[in-house]
């Protein structure tokens, strides 16, 4: 059997972190996550199996502190020039094991990146939040409390809407922000998170980026209420629910950067989310290859493995080709992100970068959903059998395809940039 690492990736894009850490992480996931992942669907509410796995992964292995600077007890990944490529490696390996776990970890990083990556660093807040993640002996989650009931992914569509649909408000009262609003579906809600990054507005209805605010809210403050987790089609290891903020008060310096700068720093998260989505997908497809290889090699037709049948070979050959291409594209997206501060690169907030990375995520999402569907056809009656893991991955990757505005916002961002559309 060929090994999954034989699928292509540009060797010059591989980070030092990848070379030293991937094998350790893979061993950990194969020992502690993959044997139990079929049981995660029934554990979506209580996380009796999932929580101990997160504790091993995030606290014992230390992933939850990886972004923080060395001086605060972290690994310094956010200060490196390969934060996107390092994140891609983590999320690809996690996606191979369980994409729900992958997104829960990645989204813990998500709101922290607003204050950790140059040129948008806030040393005071980094020092404030570092002990929460770097000294804990249990998994600690954060959430990007973004989506709202009335607007869906509108908040991510900053290029057109500029935040004017945001209804969660922040009002400055002396040296405190007073926050009111309702957020729906954030990853790591449902009672999980200890810290929220909250996109809100200081002037409802405004599309002026100076009125967009990104404010951190500890989950245990008075006025913060979290609803229970929703049961979803997949992604059981990721809890999603409602969050209500009722006259929640936080120090004024819990705002990430200030007028204008908050919107810029937040817009970086769009590209990070799309790149890591590609990693979840390529990781899941690598496991698709492993499971499909076993099936077509051990099942026979006309006294030969079914992979030797021309019709089946055509399908599985196309699947292998798509995995190879998608992995190259995923690493290209990560490299685009890591070029943000180089003379030959462009900032993550540029329409160029956002459009290109959204293109890649849209393409990889489509190929993943399509190929898991093809694999289920090859498996026939076994395609929906949980013992083969294909249907579990299919339910998860479909959710990856849908989030962050889904195909539509990816296509609109690409059209807006490449065709100079002004009304989309």
DSSP state of 229: P
Partners of 171 in beta bridges? 178
Fold designation for 4-89+97-141: Butyryl-Coa Dehydrogenase, subunit A; domain 1 (1.10.540)
Q: Do domains 4-89+97-141 and 262-418 have the same CATH topology?
A: no
Fold designation for 144-259: Butyryl-CoA Dehydrogenase, subunit A; domain 2 (2.40.110)
* pLDDT tens sequence across 276-327: 999 999 999 999 999 999 999 999 999 999 999 999 999 999 999 999 999 9
pLDDT for the residue 340: 59
* pLDDT tens sequence across 25-54: 999 999 999 999 999 999 999 999 999 999
What string of H, E and C letters represents the secondary structure of 231-276?
CCCCCCCCCEEEEEEEEEEEEHHHECCCCCHHHHHHHHHHHHHHHH
pLDDT for the residue 343: 46
Cα separation, 280 vs 273, whole angstroms: 10
Whole-number percent of the chain with pLDDT over 90: 80
Tell which residue, 96, 152, 116, 150, has the closest CA to residue 408: 152
This prediction has a pTM of: 0.95
Mean pLDDT of 94-108: 97
Mean pLDDT of 106-124: 95
What is the C-alpha end-to-end distance of the chain, expressed in Å?
47
Tokens of 399: 């959710």
pLDDT for the residue 224: 98
- Asked whether residue 344 carries a pLDDT value surpassing 50, the answer given is no
pLDDT for the residue 105: 96
* pLDDT tens sequence across 217-271: 999 999 999 999 999 999 999 999 999 999 999 999 999 999 999 999 998 888 8
Residue-by-residue DSSP string for 11-60: GGG--HHHHHHHHHHHHHHHHHTTTTGGGGGGGTTT-TTHHHHHIIIIII
Mean pLDDT of 92-111: 97
- Asked whether residue 394 carries a pLDDT value surpassing 90, the answer given is yes
Contacts with 183 (C-beta within 8 Å, 6 or more apart), sequence order: 145, 146, 147, 148, 168, 189, 196, 198, 242, 243, 244, 245
Contacts with 357 (C-beta within 8 Å, 6 or more apart), sequence order: 271, 274, 275, 333, 336, 337
* pLDDT tens sequence across 82-92: 999 999 999 99
| C-alpha pair distances (Å), 424 with each of 52, 148, 155, 401, 411 | 45, 21, 15, 20, 10
- Asked whether residue 399 carries a pLDDT value surpassing 70, the answer given is yes
Q: What is the CATH architecture of 262-418?
A: Up-down Bundle (1.20)
Mean pLDDT of 91-108: 97
Q: For the chain, what are the domain ranges?
A: 4-89+97-141, 144-259, 262-418
pLDDT for the residue 59: 97
């Amino acid at each position: 059997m060929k090994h999954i690492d034989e699928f292509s990736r540009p060797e010059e894009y591989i980070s030092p972190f990848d070379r030293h850490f991937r094998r350790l992480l893979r061993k950990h996931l194969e020992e502690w996550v993959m044997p139990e992942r079929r049981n995660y669907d029934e554990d979506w509410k209580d996380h009796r199996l999932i929580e101990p796995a997160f504790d091993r992964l995030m606290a014992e292995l230390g992933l939850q502190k990886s972004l923080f600077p060395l001086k605060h007890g972290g690994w310094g990944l956010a200060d490196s020039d390969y934060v996107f490529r390092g994140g891609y490696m983590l999320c690809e390996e996690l996606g191979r094991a369980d994409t729900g776990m992958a997104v829960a970890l990645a989204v813990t990083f998500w709101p922290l990146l607003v204050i950790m990556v140059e040129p948008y660093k806030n040393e005071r807040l980094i020092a404030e939040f570092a002990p929460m993640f770097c000294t804990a002996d249990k998994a600690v989650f954060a959430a990007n409390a973004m989506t709202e009931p009335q607007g869906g992914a509108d908040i991510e569509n900053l290029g057109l809407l500029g935040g004017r649909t945001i209804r969660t408000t922040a009002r400055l009262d002396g040296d405190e922000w007073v926050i009111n609003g309702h957020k729906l579906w954030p990853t790591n809600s449902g009672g999980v998170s200890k810290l929220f990054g909250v996109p809100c507005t200081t002037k409802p209805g405004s599309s002026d980026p100076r009125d967009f605010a990104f404010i951190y809210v500890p989950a245990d403050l008075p006025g913060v209420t979290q609803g229970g987790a929703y049961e979803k089609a997949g992604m059981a290891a990721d809890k999603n629910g409602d969050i209500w903020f009722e006259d929640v008060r936080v120090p004024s310096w819990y705002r990430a950067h200030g007028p204008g700068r908050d919107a810029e720093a937040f817009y970086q998260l769009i590209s990070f989310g799309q790149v890591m989505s590609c990693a979840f997908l390529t990781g899941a497809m690598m496991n698709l290859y492993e499971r499909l290889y076993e099936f077509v090699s051990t099942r026979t037709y006309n006294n030969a493995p079914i992979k030797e049948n021309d019709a089946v070979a055509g399908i599985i050959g196309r699947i292998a080709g798509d995995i190879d291409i998608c992995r190259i594209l995923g690493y290209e997206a990560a490299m685009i992100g890591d070029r943000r501060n180089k003379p030959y690169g462009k900032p993550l907030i540029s329409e160029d970068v956002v459009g290109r990375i959204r293109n890649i995520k849209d393409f990889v999402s489509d190929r993943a959903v399509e190929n898991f569907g093809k694999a289920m056809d090859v498996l026939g009656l076994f395609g929906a059998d949980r013992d083969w893991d294909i249907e579990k991955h299919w339910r998860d990757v479909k959710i990856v395809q849908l989030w962050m505005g889904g195909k539509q916002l990816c296509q609109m961002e690409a059209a807006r940039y490449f065709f100079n559309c002004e009304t989309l």
